[in-house]
Amino acid sequence: MDAILAALRAAAEPTRLRLLVLCAHGELTVSELTQILGQSQPRVSRHLKLLCEAGLLDRFREGTNAFFRLRQDGEVGAFAQMLIDTLPEDDATLALDFARLETIKRERAVTAAEYFRKNAEQWDKIRSLYVDEREVERALLELLPRGRIQDLLDLGTGTGRILELVADRVERAVGIDLSREMLAIARANLERAPRRNLQVRQGDMYQLPWPAASFDVVTVHQVLHFADDPGEALAEAARVLRPGGRLVIIDFAPHDIERLRVEHAHRWLGLEDTQIETWCRAAGLIPETPVRLPGKPLTVCLWPAIRTAEAAVQPEAAALLHAKDGGHA
């Protein structure tokens, strides 16, 4: 009871209540929250400190930035979500906050899209600076199901390299990407050795244009560190997996190379095993043992997971995957 009373006292202030709502709809920095609320940074920081101390918000640091998000677990986390759910959707102040939040998310998306546009032809070369892709590809092939794969989906396909890699092992492989420039390069690459079982298309990994249980394998290769909401992306990937289907995530382990955020629009400076496991389990996936490929300076991890027969999102994990309005960048 003491924890709930402390949470009630912390939340019972207009600005702090607005902060709770915003942090339930995305992971945001102090500067972004300051921009949305139109208040001074010291004032916003003070409110955030009180909310964190009451256990209503989680704070996590990435390089020089600290991000805040609504607490997802425990008694206080459940209370926070219940409190937010009771707020009227037509509140004028919150509506303005949401509009400003969407502006920030669009700016993030534009930054990432601009990076892709500028670096489309150099994408494979940039990847090669981090880790030997041949080693990553061998590890990926080892994690794929044995025998012939009926349907495979590659999220954020980029140059289409994963499609080329699995061409001889699949009946059908589809790659999606938001960037038209990347898709043009992927098509050019695939046309070098035309295969009817490979295709690329423009698409959003948060809203896949397929019904549930459409694929046996989904790969997510060096994509999540750009994602504003990796949990939501993995939930959508799980949705289109067939029962017993396999997801393979390939991305960087945590690191402190801040220039990747500044120069290459990385949203996340690597991903923790615990983050991946939490997102997977919330999406109805069973995580398996990750594979680590140490590199200099970056380490690549491959996280495999299996879709359960009943992959419905667990009630206690719903807040982790979807904000009240289902919004994303």
What is the rounded average pLDDT of the residues 206-222?
96
Average pLDDT (245-256) is 95
pLDDT tens per residue across span 19-60: 999 998 877 889 999 999 999 999 999 999 999 999 999 887
pLDDT of residue 323: 37
Cβ atoms of 189 and 198 within 8 Å: the answer is no
As to burial, measured by CB atoms within 10 angstroms (0-12 exposed, 13-18 middle, 19+ buried), residue 36 is buried
Above pLDDT 90, what percent of the chain? Answer: 53
User: How much of the chain, in percent, has pLDDT values that exceed 70?
Assistant: 87
- Judge residue 193's burial from the number of C-beta atoms within 10 Å of its C-beta, 0-12 exposed, 13-18 middle, 19 or more buried: exposed
CATH number, domain 122-321: 3.40.50.150
Q: CA-CA distance, 317 to 278, in Å (whole number)?
A: 9
Residue 192 has pLDDT above 90, yes or no: no
In tens, the pLDDT along 272-306 reads 999 999 999 999 999 999 999 998 788 999 999 99
- What amino acid occupies position 182? M
For residue 248, what are the β-bridge partners?
219, 304
Contact 220, 152 (CB under 8 A): no
If DSSP codes are grouped into helix, strand and coil, which group holds residue 125? helix
Given phi > 0 = left and psi -120 to 50 = alpha, else beta, which region is 202?
beta
> Average pLDDT for residues 96-115, to the nearest whole number?
81
- Per-residue model confidence as pLDDT tens digits over 84-102: 888 887 899 999 999 999 8
pLDDT tens across 140-186, in order?
999 999 999 999 999 999 889 999 999 999 999 999 998 877 887 88
Looking at residue 40, its pLDDT comes to 93
Q: How confident is the model at residue 8 (pLDDT cuts 50, 70, 90)?
A: confident
Residue ranges per structural domain of the chain: 2-87, 122-321
Rounded mean pLDDT, 11-16: 90
Average pLDDT, the chain: 85
- Helix/strand/coil for 120: helix
Asked whether the predicted pLDDT for residue 325 surpasses 80, the reply is: no
pLDDT classification of 126: cutoffs 50, 70, 90? low
Which residue type does 164 have?
A: E
pLDDT tier at 216 (50, 70, 90 boundaries)?
A: very high
- pLDDT category at 9 given cuts 50, 70, 90 is confident
Report d(CA 166, CA 152) in Å as an integer. Answer: 9
Residue appearing with tokens 């801040």? 258
Task: Kindly report the CATH class assigned to 2-87.
Answer: mainly alpha
Identify the pLDDT of residue 316: 39
* Cα 290 to Cα 155: distance, rounded to the nearest angstrom: 19
Q: Please tell me the predicted confidence (pLDDT) of residue 256.
A: 85
Phi, psi of 29 (to 5 degrees): -90, 170
Q: Give the model's pLDDT for residue 318.
A: 39
* pLDDT score of 329: 32
**18: Cβ–Cβ under 8 A, 6 or more apart, which residues?**
37, 93, 94, 97
Higher pLDDT, 182 or 139: 139
Looking up tokens 């004028």, which residue turns up? 92
Question: What is the C-alpha separation between 115 and 135, in angstroms, rounded?
Answer: 26
Q: Which comes out higher in pLDDT, residue 90 or 72?
A: 90
